[in-house]
């Protein structure tokens, strides 16, 4: 299999799992980090909002900077956000990481 195709398919797979996996994990997140309803709702909403906004913007940026550069930047950003989410000491930091 072409490594570029594999990378793109893997990236496409991660998005739905990030949304649905977080929604399923909300009770456990509330148990660990607190149950403030507004911040809990933003755990799911923040990812959806930024994904929708940056999907539109990232296409235009990719046309200017190149697909490979943007894919690497996107993977790096996602990785940093994931690490921040994993290490989040509170719901606020989890929201920032998401």
Residue 90 dihedral angles phi and psi, to the nearest 5°: -150, 170
What are the extents of the domains in the chain? 17-97
DSSP state of 36: -
Question: Is a pLDDT exceeding 80 seen at residue 1?
Answer: no
* pLDDT in the model for residue 15: 76
* pLDDT in the model for residue 80: 94
Q: Who's near 12: CB < 8 A, 6+ residues apart?
A: none
Instruction: Tell me the average pLDDT across 3-8.
Output: 82
Query: According to the per-residue pLDDT averaged within each range, which of 4-13, 51-60, 63-72 is highest?
Result: 63-72
- pTM, two decimals, is 0.75
- Over residues 7-55, the pLDDT tens digits come to 778 878 877 777 778 888 888 888 888 888 888 888 888 888 888 888 8
Task: Kindly give the residue spans of alpha helices, DSSP state H, lying in 1-98.
Answer: 3-33, 37-65, 67-87, 91-97
């Amino acid at each position: 299999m072409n490594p570029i195709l594999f990378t793109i398919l893997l990236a496409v797979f991660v998005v739905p799992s990030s949304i649905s996996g977080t929604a399923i994990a909300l009770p456990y997140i509330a148990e660990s980090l607190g149950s403030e309803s507004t911040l809990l709702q933003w755990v799911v909403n923040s990812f959806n909002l930024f994904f929708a906004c940056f999907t539109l913007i990232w296409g235009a940026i990719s046309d200017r900077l190149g697909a490979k550069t943007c894919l690497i930047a996107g993977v790096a950003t996602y990785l940093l956000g994931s690490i921040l989410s994993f290490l989040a000491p509170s719901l606020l930091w989890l929201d920032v990481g998401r």
